[in-house]
Structure 1
Amino acid sequence: MKVTSIRKVIKILGPGLITGASDDDPSGIATYSQAGAQFGLATLWTALITFPLMAAIQGMCARIGLVTSQGLAATLRQHYPRSFLYVMLFLSFPAITLNIGADIQGMGAVCHMIFPAVSVSVFCIIITFLLIVVIIRYPYQKIAAILKWLCASLLLYIIVPFLVEQHWGLVARNTFIPVIHFDKAFASIIVAILGTTISPYLFYWQATMEAEDRIHHHIIVVDKKILNSMKVDVNTGMLFSNIVMFFIILATGTVLYPAGIRQIDTVDQAAKALEPLAGKLTYLIFATGVLGTGLLAIPVLTGAQSYMLAETLGWTEGLDKKFSQAKPFYISIIISLLVGLLLQFSGISPLKALLYTAILYGVTAPVLIAVILHIGNNKEIMKTNTNSWFSNLLGILTLIIMTTAAVALIWFQLN
């Protein structure tokens, strides 16, 4: 690829790349690490499955944001019963807040692991207030630029598997030939991977960021060129996210699993377990990646939640606004961060927080995917930019898989 072509692609990348990269947050890293530690390479094939599903749904959300110039919550408020929107918010908010708290805990634990003289709680407080200052102080364009560069921290996870000996034939077999175990533990980890990669908060964030990008770039008509650029951005972001997931499972599956380490509850446990087995460099790379992904993901989580609330209640919104221009919007961000911080002092373990998050995401995702499909095919809303038959096919497949996952998740919790 020519240098000019690479520059063009980099210029196009924005909301899709940030959304995809933020999906690999500390909570996601813990899930992927557990998959590798518990089942070795047996779940590598999931990366091939989740990529097209993520790309299809996030692409629909991006198109909705571009065409309507508003976020998903605003579209739901305008065209669907208010009661439905309120139910979605009621189920989404606890899940997002728990996710924020689990990510803050993960980052604090990793910082403590590197600098043991300072407690986890102190690091959690420092990280929380650092994020509050950055989100309030800097406008959207600067935050987006910062988030875009933080995506590079995820590249560290691609390095890790190459630091240890690999049997690439075995890796290829587990990647392209699905291995399925019909037991509760395996089904639970598959459900956890799906819930981590296809999360409702990403739907809201994607639509809102595309709408804001349209406003910032003064796009009057959404033509084929704009839509094609959006597709490149979204597909690149989702591919990047799944590649990182693949390599985290590969790293932990080839290092922790053979060593008999089967239980990973937090990201710092994964890093600690890697150190004696794969060396100091691997341990530091893994830990540094957690901090970068946390700083990337938490603004997305808090931003998605605040945009949802603002669009529902008609508040002035936008990360490009000053605090004085959108006080309720920014106050909701501050509250979500502080409530997330309280998780560290509540006695709720990150593992339990992730479990509750997965349950709530699992309940809301299928319903929201069905509505996104309906919006994407609604000519009154989307005009001439309705879903293609291929997008609908992938969307329906995602709906079926996520519904099955939700039912399985609830069944396993009750039995």
Structure 2
Amino acid sequence: MNDNESPDSAQHRPRAANWLRRLGPGLVTGAADDDPSGIGTYSQAGAQFGFELLWALLLTYPLMTAIQLVSARIGRVTGKGLASNMRTHYPCWLLYATVVLLIVANVINIAADLSAMGAALNLLLHGPQELYVVCLGAVSAVLQIFVPYDRYARLLKWTALILLAYVAVALIVPVPWREVGRAIVRPHFQWSAAYLTTVIAVLGTTISPYLFFWQASQEVEELRAVPSQRSLRRAPHQAPAQLRRINFDTWVGMGVSNVIGFFITLTAAATLHLHHIDVKTSADAARALEPIGGHFAYVLFALGIIGTGLLALPVLAGSAAYAAAGTFRWRNSLALKLGVAPEFYAVIALAIIGGVVVTFLHFDPIRALYWSAVINGVTAVPIMVVMMLMAGSRRIMGKFAITGTLAWGGWLATCAMAIAAMGVFVPG
């Protein structure tokens, strides 16, 4: 400690460092939820309905946190991912159907995200969008396959800082904060098909099955990364510290996800809705923002699309690989070398390649996102039901079976998602 440094400030640094170390799987999971396709959904909500849907982001926060806490606890308590637990305790047909739907939805999501990232890079640099898509896909695959897990996990954690771009954009553009406050405190509901469909889209964008698989598997990765750590069923004395960390990490991570979604919706409402500009994709939102919010806001928004895509791609491809590996009993871990877990890394590579190929089919990004939402909604509900049954089973979770507030919150999130999934199929 130097002469000008107080003891309090010296103690503050390790405390702050410890606080940051406690953030991991939950933060990355929450940040990855704000992918380019999610940005497109939030932008559409703000552009179409102004501040009227900001309440939805407050509603999704506790629901999303509850189900992600359930996912994280299953991984940490059992020491196995969701697919491995499903294989052990439930019928094979349910596991196979779930994993196939998950992988299909993830590949479509990867394609939509790559398309949005390529379009955003084209806005900034011009040039061939298709080439950008290939390069971005290749970079993501190479990082996942060849960068050591501990370094890669830190990279993902710090990449989450790109989300601050959307807070900055909201501070740059003029926002009528009094009107925002009124919309939150006294929300105005519409019983129109367009309004309800958008609410469903926001809920479906926020609560996605790939996030369940990713966070449970990342808890297992964290377990393996520290030799002294064991699954909580085998080492119950580690439970108090680990469950506190999971709670803190998940509440913060899902808070980041929902705050950023809130600011994206807010920005679109304060600019695009005010000028009666409708958008279909995240790149459309960035393009439309320039004449209203200025060049700096436009650049920040476009950079945010690229950064969040680089964060979301490994979560989408990785969750598909964890699910497939758990289904077929393949060795799986981002900490393993390529030669030790070839099937696991092959699924990651094939998911990225599949996404790139789909972008070259010149698909309609809006229809792709719609069908991805349909598949996500159909897949999420049975997975959430199975997760809740697993998490509440003493046979699987031992004395760590969930009860009380978390159980109620998880089932409430499951019911909300079931209603959203049914709403996707309502005509009009």
Q: TM-score with structure 1 length normalisation?
A: 0.97
Q: In structure 2, which of residues 417, 420, 424 is the aligned counterpart of residue 402 of structure 1?
A: 417
The answer (yes or no) to whether the contact 1:69–1:212 under 8 Å persists in 2 is no
Which residue number corresponds to residue 245 of structure 1? 261
Q: In structure 1, which of residues 113, 135, 146 is the aligned counterpart of residue 144 of structure 2?
A: 135
Asked if 1:125 is matched to 2:134, the reply is yes
The answer (yes or no) to whether the contact 1:45–1:177 under 8 Å persists in 2 is no
Which residue number corresponds to residue 203 of structure 2? 194
1:268 Cα shift? 1.2
Structure 2 gap segments, 5+ residues each: 1-8
Which residue number corresponds to residue 271 of structure 2? 255
1:169 Cα shift? 1.5
1:134 Cα shift? 1.3
Which residue number corresponds to residue 76 of structure 1? 86
Q: Distance in 2 between matches of 1:368 and 1:375?
A: 10
Q: In structure 2, which of residues 320, 338, 342 is the aligned counterpart of residue 327 of structure 1?
A: 342
Asked if 1:228 is matched to 2:244, the reply is yes
SS at match of 1:348: coil
SS at match of 2:406: helix
1:350 Cα shift? 1.5
1:369 Cα shift? 1.1
1:114 Cα shift? 0.8
Asked if 1:158 is matched to 2:167, the reply is yes
- The correspondence of residues 81-100 of structure 1 with structure 2, limited to 5 A, is 81-100=91-110
1:388 Cα shift? 2.8
Which residue number corresponds to residue 38 of structure 1? 48
1:234 maps to a residue whose letter is T
Q: Distance in 1 between matches of 2:16 and 2:280?
A: 39
Which residue number corresponds to residue 170 of structure 1? 179
Q: Which sits farther off after the overlay, 13-22 or 85-94?
A: 85-94
- The correspondence of residues 12-27 of structure 1 with structure 2, limited to 5 A, is 12-27=22-37
1:303 maps to a residue whose letter is G
2:147 maps to a residue whose letter is Y
The answer (yes or no) to whether the contact 1:27–1:102 under 8 Å persists in 2 is yes
1:60 maps to a residue whose letter is V
Which residue number corresponds to residue 338 of structure 1? 353
Structure 1 gap segments, 5+ residues each: none
Q: In structure 2, which of residues 287, 303, 311 is the aligned counterpart of residue 296 of structure 1?
A: 311
Which residue number corresponds to residue 49 of structure 1? 59
Which residue number corresponds to residue 223 of structure 2? 214
SS at match of 1:94: helix
% identical equivalent positions: 38
2:57 maps to a residue whose letter is A
1:119 maps to a residue whose letter is P
1:4 Cα shift? 4.4
The answer (yes or no) to whether the contact 2:141–2:314 under 8 Å persists in 1 is no
The answer (yes or no) to whether the contact 2:81–2:326 under 8 Å persists in 1 is yes
* Alignment RMSD (CA, Å): 1.2
Q: TM-score with structure 2 length normalisation?
A: 0.94
2:376 maps to a residue whose letter is Y
SS at match of 2:402: coil
2:424 maps to a residue whose letter is L
Tell me the number of residue pairs that the alignment of Structure 1 and Structure 2 aligns: 411
